[in-house]
Amino acid sequence: MSNDREAMSIARLKELVRERSKRAELPLAERRKVMDGNAEMFPVPAGVTVTPADLDGLKAEWARPRETDGATVLYFHGGGYVLGSPVSHRHLTSRLALAARANVLSVDYRLAPEHAFPAAVDDGLKAYRWLLGEGHAPEAIALAGDSAGGGLAMATLLAAKRDGLPMPMAAALLSPWTDLTCDTGTYASCADADPMITQAGIKELAAMYLAGADPRQPLASPNHGDLAGLPPLLIQVGSDEVLLDDARDLDARARAAGVAADLEIWDGMIHVWQAFYQMLPEGERAIERIGGWLAKQHTAAGHTRSGLAKV
């Protein structure tokens, strides 16, 4: 990708992403280095301070805006469970911190194949428990994530529910990968439109992460789980990505379970287009939408808590 910060069309971005996607042929260690190179390509926006964090041995980093409304966003990066880090997604988490007026805690969860399923889920749950243990009220915590990180946010919610932990106020999911069977209809119908993900490629990532585990286990594929009792969900997905059905199915299953779900299908957008906000106007608008939605959920949760306290 170029360092040009000029606004561009989604068509031009698709061309650049197709070219960059050829790096999938590189060795895994090299691909991880390339992805972390996002930190040099996409600078942290002004007004945000980034600092490391230690969650009882689990690495993470804070993105703190100058002004906050007191909320915390627990963020899980994407990368197919084998790539990515808080470094690679720093520009995105920092921009989200500004939009939501919240401190964002980005987790460096363990990656496959060195650490197969359910290691990432264990780390997600550990991070949520850490926040609770540090005195963060659940009604002031939101979970968020992109791609595999969106799936991990959902899996963390299911694990927290299993363990009887209080639910956070909400979860925002960016192009979430929530069905590791990788066998929905949009893998075919969106194959030509999606410049980033192929069915064969994502199945390879799923196999590395699952290491023989059943892909229909809810903590691997939340679309196959019981979603009752989860907090409100915002799901953003592009119309041109093969994971479109993952988002549609998640929305339908959440609604059927009585969960408040808000599905946004952005016309012509690709997988995690929000990460390209510094060059793609739709990315900027999507992040602002997420920030506004999270702020609204925080306000509503605060009012609910105040009302309950008066009863």
Q: Letter for the amino acid at 206?
A: A
Are 112 and 208 contacting, i.e. CB atoms less than 8 angstroms apart?
A: yes
SS3 label, residue 287: helix
Q: Is 271 a catalytic residue?
A: yes
pLDDT given at position 311: 27
Task: Tell me the per-residue pLDDT of 222-260, one tens digit each, with 9 for 90 and over.
Answer: 999 999 999 999 999 999 999 999 999 999 999 999 999
Per-residue pLDDT reduced to its tens digit, 56-73: 999 999 999 999 999 999
- Sign of torsion over alpha carbons 60, 275, 113, 154: positive
Catalytic residue among 91, 224, 271, 298: 271
| Residue 89 among the catalytic residues | no
Query: How high does pLDDT run on average in the chain?
Result: 94
Which H/E stretch holds residue 292? helix 281-310
- Please enumerate in sequence order all residues whose Cβ is within 8 A of that of 257, keeping only pairs 6 or more positions apart, or say none: 226, 227, 228, 229, 230
Q: Among 267, 259, 254, 208, which residue's Cα sits nearest to residue 231?
A: 259
* Distance of alpha carbon 35 from alpha carbon 67, whole angstroms: 29
3-class secondary structure, 222: helix
Q: Output the six-digit token pair for 176.
A: 């979430």
Tell me what the mean pLDDT of segment 134-142 comes to. Answer: 98
Do the beta carbons of residue 277 and residue 287 sit within 8 Å?
yes
- Single pTM value for the model: 0.95
- Per-residue pLDDT tens over the stretch 170-195: 999 999 999 999 999 999 999 999 99
Instruction: Report pLDDT digits (tens) over 145-174.
Output: 999 999 999 999 999 999 999 999 999 999
Distance CA(3)–CA(5), nearest Å, equals 6
Which of 147, 175, 221, 298 is the catalytic position? 147
Q: What residues pair up with 53 in beta bridges, in sequence order?
A: 60
Calculate mean pLDDT across residues 263-291.
98
Per annotation, catalytic residue among 61, 139, 241, 282: 241
The conformation of residue 167, written as its DSSP 8-state character, comes to P
